[in-house]
Amino acid sequence: MMDYEEVTSFLGIWGSFQKLIYVLLSLSSIPNGYVGMAMVFLADIPPHHCRVPFLNSSYGGLGYNLSIPTEVLKGETILSRCRRHSEQEDSDAAYGNDTEGCLDGWLFSKKQYVSTIVTEWDLVCDDAWKAPFSVTVFFFGVLTGSFISGIISDRYGRKIIFFATMAVQTIFSVIQAASTSWEMFSVLYFIVGMGQIANYCSAFVLGCELLNKTCRISFSTVGVSLSYAFGYVCLPFFAYFIRDWRTLLLVLSAPGLLYIPLWWYIPESPRWLLSQGRVEEAEAIIRAAAKMNGITPPDVIFKRDDTAKLMDGDGDQKVYSWTDLIKTSNIRNTTLVSIVIWITVGLTYYGLSLNTPNMEGDPYLNCLIFASSEVVAYCLIWFAARYAPRRLTLPLCLITCGVLLLIIKLVPEELNAVTVTLAIIGKTLTTGAYGFLYFYGTELFPTVVRNMGLGVTSMGSRIGSTVSPYVAYIGTYNKVLPYVLMGIISIVTGILSITLPETKDEELPEFIHQAKPLEWSCRKKKPVKNQKIYEKVHVGTSLEKSHV
């Protein structure tokens, strides 16, 4: 009998149907590029100091120089942000040397922002932890969504989950813009995080299952990635012209409404329909695709007696669980090392991205440059995946990124351009490592647990991302320390990644006992080229749930 790729090969490789699906599903990733990163501007902390009664309510002023003590922040002397001199009732002097908290609230500079959630709910001083925690809540939502998205997509279908989660992301973002408290904002942000990753995963899986294996690799490594990067690039432009956080959030949410008409252009996955025994519906979609491509389909596409075997394989199959990822020493070591690498990459990627406001210079320009660097990263990683050894690419990205971030410690404060340049190159390298890990993971794990292996290890990046807001928050007090922390862990993890086995041009492991051991030396092995084996295990299909 034939497999699905052979049965549907009459559709061709790059017809009108494939082009339409490729473009529409890639474009659906654009909002994902700015939903999480929007907090760079939504939760930025403007300059502020205590409000003092009877003084001018505008920010600054000579009176405040007498009523508020000074402090040194990042080498600059400023008015204290959390303390003021106590009023003297039994002295000729209006204020004494004793200090007290900001009993009457704060005044925030309007020079850069009309409002942020920090100015809205006074998230400074004792409540300063709430702003980064809002981002952590979002990533907890992403972690939850990545855990359940594959389950609900397998149960109810790719298409309905794709559009349902797009609606969740859009609707709750709109409601979030009307939040009346920080608590309400954070709860809604958790739901938005769940919708964001579930939408991304559903689009990713749907595209991989609708496209043939020739288009699938390009779609998974270039199509959705570059669309995500384009959405990230759009963020600083929106934020530059819209300085009020509520209006900005509404504008960023609006594009989700543009995807409603896609319901009539994006079909359900025929693979999933076949797995559910809905053969007639699957055939109808394939015939419609053939018509769009100007091809006459065969009279019978899927033979009824072969349908179950076509999707599930021959005979009885063992059911594998997550415990199989620690069953033998080889696969257990690969799993644990991969999780550590994912945690580091997730922390460094989001730590550098969220640290943009703490960098010297224009935050909008810095964000734009950081976002643009992702385009370069994805192009470089596509080239590396084709030509460079795996054991060279990943360690080189991580170790070089770590070294560059540590060098920032040695850069004089007046050479801000050098600091920004080093951070941008580091961001490019860690973005490349992020994308490369998905590809590398498909070759490290055996076919029987490949989806689970990618799912479990990639969830490590969600753990790292939940910590990243606080790493970036440290930068409000010491702009160099976040780079030092991320640099050290990147170097250590890069050295650890050298132990992962080489997989380029080698046969992919099929079963648990074929998992490769960690390599503690740099000896070279003779590669085994076998494209038929590579195609047989459906590398593209293995990528389908790589974001779960």
Return the closest-CA partner of residue 105 out of 175, 143, 55, 150.
55
Q: Rounded to the nearest 5°, which phi and psi values hold at 494? A: -60, -40
What pLDDT is attached to residue 452?
A: 64
The per-residue b/e assignment along 44-57, b for 16 or more CB within 10 angstroms, e otherwise, is bbbbbbbbbeeeee
Contacting residues for 459 by C-beta, under 8 A, at least 6 apart = 143, 146, 147, 342
For the stretch 119-151, pLDDT in tens is 999 898 888 888 888 888 888 888 888 777 766
**Co-location of 257 and 280 in the same domain:** yes
Most distant CA atoms of the chain, gap in Å: 100
Return the closest-CA partner of residue 39 out of 427, 468, 379.
468
- If one counts the domains in the chain, the total is 3
**Co-location of 465 and 530 in the same domain:** yes
Contacting residues for 452 by C-beta, under 8 A, at least 6 apart = 320, 321, 322, 324, 325, 445
Q: Which domain holds residue 548?
A: 320-548
**Co-location of 435 and 468 in the same domain:** yes
What pLDDT is attached to residue 507?
A: 62
Task: Count the residues in the chain.
Answer: 548
Angle, CA of 207, 142 and 427, to the nearest 5°? 85
Residue where one domain finishes, among candidates 109, 133, 154 = 109
**Co-location of 311 and 423 in the same domain:** no
**Co-location of 372 and 439 in the same domain:** yes
Give the whole-angstrom CA distance, residue 176 versus residue 93: 47
Residue-wise DSSP of 62-103: HHHHHHS-EEEETTEEEE-SS-EEEE-SSSSSSEEEEEE--T
Q: Answer for the pair 357, 37: CB distance below 8 angstroms, yes or no.
A: no
Residue 49, classed as helix, strand or coil, is strand
What is the 8-class DSSP label of residue 356? G
**Co-location of 481 and 342 in the same domain:** yes
Give the whole-angstrom CA distance, residue 73 versus residue 172: 37
What pLDDT is attached to residue 442?
A: 67
**Co-location of 312 and 332 in the same domain:** no
Residue where one domain finishes, among candidates 317, 343, 360 = 317
Return the closest-CA partner of residue 419 out of 480, 370, 488.
480
Query: What number of other Cβ atoms are within 10 A of residue 389's Cβ?
Result: 15
Contacting residues for 19 by C-beta, under 8 A, at least 6 apart = none
Q: Answer for the pair 466, 140: CB distance below 8 angstroms, yes or no.
A: yes
What pLDDT is attached to residue 95?
A: 54
Return the closest-CA partner of residue 3 out of 290, 311, 416, 253.
311
**Co-location of 304 and 377 in the same domain:** no
Amino acid at 155: R
Q: Answer for the pair 212, 18: CB distance below 8 angstroms, yes or no.
A: yes
What pLDDT is attached to residue 89?
A: 55
For the stretch 440-473, pLDDT in tens is 776 777 756 665 666 677 777 778 888 887 787 7
What pLDDT is attached to residue 542?
A: 38
Give the whole-angstrom CA distance, residue 447 versus residue 259: 35
**Co-location of 40 and 184 in the same domain:** yes
Amino acid at 174: V
Residue where one domain finishes, among candidates 58, 77, 109 = 109
Provide the CB-side half-sphere exposure for 59 (13 A, CA).
17
Give the residues across from 95 on adjacent strands: 87
Return the closest-CA partner of residue 420 out of 500, 352, 343.
352
**Co-location of 488 and 466 in the same domain:** yes
Return the H-helix or E-strand segment holding 347.
Answer: helix 329-354
Provide the CB-side half-sphere exposure for 36 (13 A, CA).
32
**Co-location of 373 and 327 in the same domain:** yes
Return the closest-CA partner of residue 405 out of 420, 429, 424, 422.
422
3-state secondary structure 256-311: HHHHHHHHHCCCCCHHHHHHCCCHHHHHHHHHHHHHHCCCCCCCCCCCHHHHHHHH
Return the closest-CA partner of residue 269 out of 538, 477, 23, 8.
8
**Co-location of 294 and 396 in the same domain:** no
CATH number at residue 153: 1.20.1250.20
Q: Rounded to the nearest 5°, which phi and psi values hold at 12? A: 90, 180
Segments in the chain below pLDDT 70 = 1-5, 54-66, 74-75, 87-97, 150-151, 154, 213-214, 216-217, 220-221, 275, 303-322, 357-359, 442, 447-455, 505-512, 514, 520-548
